Amino acid sequence: MKVLSVASEVYPLIKTGGLADVAGALPAALASHGVDMRVLLPGYRSVMAKIRQPLRLREFDDLFGASAAILAGKVDGMDWLVLDAPEFFDRDGGPYTDAAGLDHPDNWRRFAALCKAAAEIAEHGLGGWKPDIVHAHDWQAGLVPVYLGQGAAAATPSVMTVHNLAFQGQFGADIFPELGLPQSVFSMEGVEYYGDVSFLKGGLQLASAITTVSPTYAQEIRRPDFGMGLDGLINARAADLHGIVNGIDTKVWDPSGDPLIDTNYSASKLKKRQANRKALAERFGLEDGDGPVFTVISRLTWQKGIDLLTEAADDIVAMGGRIAILGAGDAALEGALLAAAARHRGAIGLVIGYDEPLSHIMQAGGDALLVPSRFEPCGLTQLYGLRYGNVPVVARTGGLADTVIDANEAASAARVATGFQFAPVTTDQLREAVRRAIRAFAEPKVWARLQNQGMKADVSWERSAARYAALYRELLSKQRPTE
Ligand code: ADP
């Protein structure tokens, strides 16, 4: 079964968030399920610099006004398909923003080009390879099902995966004539959304199936308070909606072999974690103490509940906790955290920025991982936390609710608890969850059990890959009824 996956970021080529991890991990995870997945991503400057031995498989003289080509190339032994369109992607800054952090004004054109190129691959194939299914990720790939529906490959099933409904790719109606779509597509049944063009809405409307990255989030987005204006549409498509939780790359994230951490360890060698705790404390300037070190590895945004953390910080320190924070994001939240770190020198350490190696050091050396998100489609940091014995303390929402088992009385007695959950997502409840964690930490046996149970949890792609493969098969069987 051949599947073309289309994403705007793919680890290890380019990453700003969890989408990249998922898009990067799926091909390998699906290979053992009989799926030959190829991934198409934009040829950003940094991606082009990494691609080795590129083969030009298809040229476009005029793709939304630019000359472009689809290249196949290798990075670290893996094959990727790259849309090389220098006019769109050879720029300073990140995948979506310029060096000053502002959205590129032509983002709609850049990602429409990606979607159009994907539909062309489905129609004409690429070097003899033609997908049976096309799998689009997030708004940047939202027009894939839309373009697909217009061409010769209209019967090719498509899957639209929502990694975060908050980002929808909404643009003024004035761009519509430039998308090269028939006027009928600017309607309720197509990309029209309250008079604007919405890439994600178009994808959700027209994809054969919709998935999101956890069962709880799949239910939440059917409600007005989580649906971001799309709950009506999502409800209408509920029969085609699936919640499939993300896995993690258990080779990259493996405390027993991770080259980025001070001392490797495993569930049966938890004492060795001590050296990593020390390394973490040194890195963040934390003084010794009896209480746990809470870690935060996150975008610093309202979604992630970082304002709750700033409000609770003084009390967490007063209760005997220390906090190590790595993140970047809203200037106001960065400022509030810097102020908290200045107030509590030695108890709160902060690194502003994005630092993948440091995130490994934190997972290996932290006692608990704080994730106070207001909404969280899946969340990956808590999965890394489980795997590294960095006990997650999480808001009970989305994928956090699905992947962490709260240490309540019943779960503790049954020895299945892996962390702490709190709800509703308020500063008071966060404080209360921290209090519970500090109490459990004071009992080394209780804590070690939590770490052990978490480290044994299956956070691999195995089960979820099987679910994606089953979904693809189901879509193909619907497309081609058995004779
Ligand atoms: P989201 O995609 O909403 O940002 P996820 O938890 O799904 O949240 O994925 C975030 C990913 O990015 C994880 O792999 C996490 O470890 C990583 N990450 C987030 N912020 C940082 C940072 N400042 N430095 C290093 N890694 C980070």
Q: Model confidence over 366-406: pLDDT tens digits?
A: 999 999 999 999 999 999 999 999 999 999 999 999 999 99
DSSP labels, 296-357? EEEEESTTTTHHHHHHHHHHHHHTT-EEEEEEEE-HHHHHHHHHHHHHTTTTEEEEES--HH
Sheet with 78-84, side-by-side order of all strands: 52-63, 66-75, 78-84, 36-42, 2-6, 133-137, 158-162, 209-212, 241-243
To test the ligand 1 pocket, which listed residue (167, 250, 299, 334) has its Cβ within 8 A of the most ligand atoms? 299
Q: Tell me, what's the pLDDT at 482? A: 42
- Class of residue 458 by CB neighbours under 10 A (exposed 0-12, middle 13-18, buried 19+): exposed
Six-digit token string for 177: 């004539």
Contact status, residue 300 vs residue 308, Cβ threshold 8 Å: no
Q: Tell me, what's the pLDDT at 480? A: 57
Expressed in angstroms and rounded, the spacing between residue 359 Cα and the centre of ligand 1 is: 9
- Which residues sit opposite 81 in a β-bridge? 40, 72
Contacts by residues 61-68 (CB-CB < 8 Å, ≥ 24 positions apart)? 63/113, 63/116, 63/117, 64/88, 64/109, 64/112, 64/113, 64/116, 64/178, 64/180, 65/109, 66/113, 68/113, 68/117
**Local structure of 239: helix, strand or coil:** helix
Contact status, residue 280 vs residue 358, Cβ threshold 8 Å: no
Expressed in angstroms and rounded, the spacing between residue 55 Cα and the centre of ligand 1 is: 32
Taking the alpha carbons at both ends of the chain, their separation in whole angstroms is 19
Where the chain has pLDDT below 70, the residues are 480-483
Q: Tell me, what's the pLDDT at 317? A: 98
267-456 shares the fold of 2-247+462-477? yes
Expressed in angstroms and rounded, the spacing between residue 188 Cα and the centre of ligand 1 is: 35
Q: Tell me, what's the pLDDT at 78? A: 87
Rounded to an integer, what distance in angstroms lies between the CA atom of residue 253 and that of residue 325? 19
Atom in ligand 1 nearest the alpha carbon of residue 17: 2
Q: Residue 279 corresponds to which amino acid? A: A
To test the ligand 1 pocket, which listed residue (11, 359, 361, 464) has its Cβ within 8 A of the most ligand atoms? 359
Residue 439 CB contacts under 8 Å (≥ 6 apart), including other chains: none
Atom in ligand 1 nearest the alpha carbon of residue 303: 3
Q: Tell me, what's the pLDDT at 483? A: 39
Enter the pTM of the model: 0.94
Name the helix (H) or strand (E) containing 49: helix 45-50
Residue 468 CB contacts under 8 Å (≥ 6 apart), including other chains: 26, 30, 33, 35, 211, 244
Question: Which residue's C-alpha comes closest to atom 24 of ligand 1?
Answer: 354
Six-digit token string for 458: 């299956």
Expressed in angstroms and rounded, the spacing between residue 298 Cα and the centre of ligand 1 is: 5
Atom in ligand 1 nearest the alpha carbon of residue 246: 7
**Local structure of 68: helix, strand or coil:** strand
Expressed in angstroms and rounded, the spacing between residue 381 Cα and the centre of ligand 1 is: 6
Expressed in angstroms and rounded, the spacing between residue 18 Cα and the centre of ligand 1 is: 6
Atom in ligand 1 nearest the alpha carbon of residue 21: 14
**Local structure of 358: helix, strand or coil:** helix
Expressed in angstroms and rounded, the spacing between residue 58 Cα and the centre of ligand 1 is: 34
List the CATH code of the domain at 2-247+462-477.
Answer: 3.40.50.2000
DSSP labels, 147-162? HHHHSTTTTS-EEEEE
**Local structure of 135: helix, strand or coil:** strand
Rounded to an integer, what distance in angstroms lies between the CA atom of residue 1 and that of residue 24? 18
Atom in ligand 1 nearest the alpha carbon of residue 351: 23
Atom in ligand 1 nearest the alpha carbon of residue 304: 3
Question: Which residue's C-alpha comes closest to atom 4 of ligand 1?
Answer: 17
Instruction: Give me the residue spans of the domains in the chain.
Output: 2-247+462-477, 267-456
Expressed in angstroms and rounded, the spacing between residue 297 Cα and the centre of ligand 1 is: 6
Interhelix angle 356-365/273-284, nearest 10 degrees: 130
Largest CA distance in the chain: 72
To test the ligand 1 pocket, which listed residue (9, 10, 14, 21) has its Cβ within 8 A of the most ligand atoms? 21
What phi, psi does 80 have (nearest 5°)?
Answer: -135, 150
Question: Which residue's C-alpha comes closest to atom 22 of ligand 1?
Answer: 354
What phi, psi does 315 have (nearest 5°)?
Answer: -70, -35
- Which residues sit opposite 52 in a β-bridge? 74
Give the residues surrounding ligand 1 with Cβ less than 6 Å away.
17-18, 21, 297-299, 326-328, 354-356, 359, 378-381
Cα–Cα nearest to 119, from 146, 89, 82: 146
To test the ligand 1 pocket, which listed residue (356, 380, 397, 402) has its Cβ within 8 A of the most ligand atoms? 380
Q: Tell me, what's the pLDDT at 214? A: 97
Cα–Cα nearest to 309, from 352, 372, 369: 372
Strands of 139-201, DSSP E? 158-162, 170-171, 192-193, 196-198
Expressed in angstroms and rounded, the spacing between residue 459 Cα and the centre of ligand 1 is: 16
Taking the CA of residue 440 as centre, how many other CA atoms within 13 Å lie in the half-sphere pointing to its CB? 26
CATH class of 267-456: alpha beta
Rounded to an integer, what distance in angstroms lies between the CA atom of residue 55 and that of residue 70? 8
**Local structure of 139: helix, strand or coil:** helix
